[in-house]
Amino acid sequence: MTHEIIVSGTLPKGETTQNLTYFIVEHDTKAIVSQVFLPNASNRIDNVHMLLKVARVCTSYEIGTFEANDEFKPVQFLSVRGDLNPSPAGGPGERPT
């Protein structure tokens, strides 16, 4: 069974100099449930709205990066919203009836 989460926000304005890996973690345990790759900034497309499927449902998620010392650092310009209604393991967009 999979669960849906939505990552949304606005990327910082500026020239893209690199792509970063943002990790989606459970708020309490910091266990990684997913990851996304996004530019560090953009002058063209700055809105982010992504629907992702995860195998583990949580009551609260955070999105951010891990520092060199393995400390999780949340980002302020992206957020994660969880859908606590599970989706069947079938194709994209399928909903339970």
Q: What is the pLDDT of residues 27-79, one digit of tens each?
A: 888 899 999 999 999 998 889 999 999 887 888 899 999 999 989 999 999 99
Strands 32-39 and 19-26: antiparallel
pTM of the predicted model as reported, rounded to 2 decimal places: 0.79
The candidate with the shortest Cα–Cα distance to 49, out of 4, 8, 93, 5, is 8
Confidence of residue 88 (pLDDT cuts 50, 70, 90): very low
pLDDT at 91 over 70: no
